[in-house]
Amino acid sequence: MGGTLDPRGAEVISMWRAWSVALVPLAFLLLVQLAPALRLLQEAWAGSEPVLSALWAPWLDPYLRWRMVWSLLQASLTCVAALLLGLPVAWVLARFEFPGRSLVLRALMLPFVVPTLVAAMGVLALLGPQGLLAQMGGPDLQGTPWLLLYGNLFFNLCVLVRAGTDALAQVSAARMAAARSLGATPWRAFWRIEWPAIAPWLMSALCLVFLYCFAGFGLALVLGGQAYATAEVEIYTLVAYELQLGQAGVLSLWMMALTLLAALGYAAIERNLATPARADCLARRRPKGVWQWLAVAIALLVLGLFCAAPLLAIVWKAFMSGAPTAEGSAWRLLLEDDTLLALWNTLRFSVSAVLLATLLGLAHAFAARRSLLLRTLVFLPFVVSPVMVAFGLLLLYPSWSASAGLLIAAYALLAYPFVAKSLASALDSLPAHYLDAARSLGASPWRAFWRVTFPLLRPALRRGMAFAGATAVGEFAVTLFLSRPEWATLTTLIYQRLGRPGAANLDAAMLLSCMLMLLALAAFALIEWPTPQEETHA
């Protein structure tokens, strides 16, 4: 009896174990993100101006106020557009079974793993001054907000469609049948039964979309232009070109605070979504009649226009750029020493970052099972500007500024939240009685983990590693500041070509962008593609 531990004592021990596991990722966040951010803020407020006056300065300056307002506005408009376009598409994918549906679902997240710089080049290839739309007599959208908004939708529409599809798959078939038997029309049944069930899922996805749009850097840098640059681009400009650390620090603080609110909302909503899958889900049916097939066609058209068109445009422009000319084919660029060196740097930095990100993500996910605070802290890399982190690292660790370790740590900082988030969601839905059965049969905690828990978590771990790998391959913001000339990656090489005048440099940027896109998609498919055993059990 004396060895029996009361439930309260067991819970305390469990919490202590969770926080001890969390020490590694928390120490990493402190050293690589929080400390550099605080160092930059300290540098920003080193002047004689009062803190409160400096804090409100961005809202009193019309120019900086517009940058903040536009950052909020473009993220909000993207959320509204993603909901209006994505919800009908998600409903079609969730309710109808048609040829190619599984392929559409598998390809749905591919735009999300395309590097931001490649996505920006794809939008320019489609809607820019020399894009396909302009060549067909359409308008030139350069210098308008539509380029950035379209780029945001390219990245984030698939996030909402996938969340909506998964949520609609959880709607109770019994409740829908009861509503229809009582005379409810399909539209009324949707608003009374389906919408309340899927609204939390959609809100969670919209919080994520807002985070990515509000704190995005690469798309806004290339597509925003001078008039529609976001606060993130303004931070980069203030630090890199004007050396205004004070204004950049205060602006970063406001960005961090506003993004933290969205991250807190996302973490709270996601935790409440951890419910077992329903057994009475609505069965998908084959479309019948002209109207249902028309709905499927429109859904596929929306996905094609907003998710596939930029990728196809960049492949087409790259193909046309590589056509033989009197000076030879531009494809020879891919075999030049600078390109091969950039490819090697991209691969070695990405592999190292994914390995480190996986270790950090595993520790953080297991520690965050019982703590909303730890679950929220995984979003810190999205909360603090990458530009702010990069310059903070240079200020805090000047003797390490030329080390590959610091660059890889910054890569891992941006990549490991994908691993932690994917694993945390899988742990939330892990059936507790599986482990109880293993322990009752005499399995040790370590053996129960390897024989029961890990096989169930393996798909989620691979999925998180796939996103982490795609993020590392296409990382741009931190590389722009921490990389040495001999460490140039494909992203920095593309940006260098894009910044030079002339059609030849634009063609070279398109070719390199196509190469980077294929590399990112290959990395994602290599890690995420299910094994034959998982295909059998799917």
On whether residue 223 sits in a domain, the answer given is yes
pLDDT at res. 538? 42
For 95, the domain range is: 31-42+66-537
Residue 387 phi, psi (nearest 5)? -65, -45
What pTM did the predictor assign?
0.77
| pLDDT score for 536 | 44
How far apart (Å, rounded) are the C-alpha atoms in residues 444 and 341? 48
| Residue 48 in domain | no
Q: What is the mean pLDDT of residues 145-173?
A: 86
- Backbone phi, psi, residue 172, to 5°: -70, 125
Asked whether residue 425 is assigned to any structural domain, the reply reads: yes
pLDDT at 5: 45
Tokens of 163: 């969340």
Q: Is residue 114 part of a domain?
A: yes
pLDDT for 81 equals: 94
Is residue 13 in a domain?
Answer: no
Range with the largest mean pLDDT of 200-209, 276-285, 291-300, 330-339: 291-300
- 203 closest CA partner among 256, 154, 167: 167
* C-alpha to C-alpha distance for 350 and 342, rounded to whole angstroms: 12
Cα distances from 110 to residues 360, 470, 522, 523, in angstroms, run 24, 10, 10, 11
Domain-embedded: residue 8 = no
How far does CA 75 lie from the centroid of its chain? 14
Q: Residue 150 — very low, low, confident or very high, per pLDDT cuts 50/70/90?
A: very high
112 or 123, higher pLDDT = 123
**Rg of the chain, C-alpha, whole Å:** 24
The torsion angle over the Cα atoms of residues 388, 393, 396 and 397, rounded to 10 degrees, is: -170
Distance CA 472, CA 466 (A): 10
State residue 439's pLDDT score: 61
- Which of 235-249, 284-298, 312-326, 454-468 is modeled with the greatest confidence? 284-298
Average of pLDDT values for 126-138?
78
Which stretches within 131-244 are classed as H helix?
A: 132-135, 146-168, 173-181, 186-189, 195-214, 218-223, 231-240
Looking at residue 326, which CATH number applies to its domain?
1.10.3720.10
pLDDT at 381: 79
Q: What is the pLDDT of residues 26-49, one digit of tens each?
A: 888 888 888 887 787 777 666 546
Residue 427: which of 469, 385, 463, 456 has the closest Cα? 456
Q: Residue 241 — very low, low, confident or very high, per pLDDT cuts 50/70/90?
A: confident
Q: What is the pLDDT of residues 362-402, one digit of tens each?
A: 888 888 776 777 777 777 776 666 777 777 888 788 777 77
Structural domains of the chain, count: 1
Residue 391: name the closest of 231, 243, 208 by CA: 243
Task: pLDDT band for 356, please (50, 70, 90 cuts).
Answer: very high
453-466 residue pLDDT tens: 677 777 888 888 88
pLDDT of residue 2: 45
Residue 1 is assigned to a structural domain of this protein: no
- Kindly state whether residue 22 falls inside one of the protein's structural domains: no
Contact at 8 Å (CB) between 507 and 445?
no
Burial 241-261 (b: 16+ CB within 10 A, else e): eeebbbbbbbbbbbbbebbbe
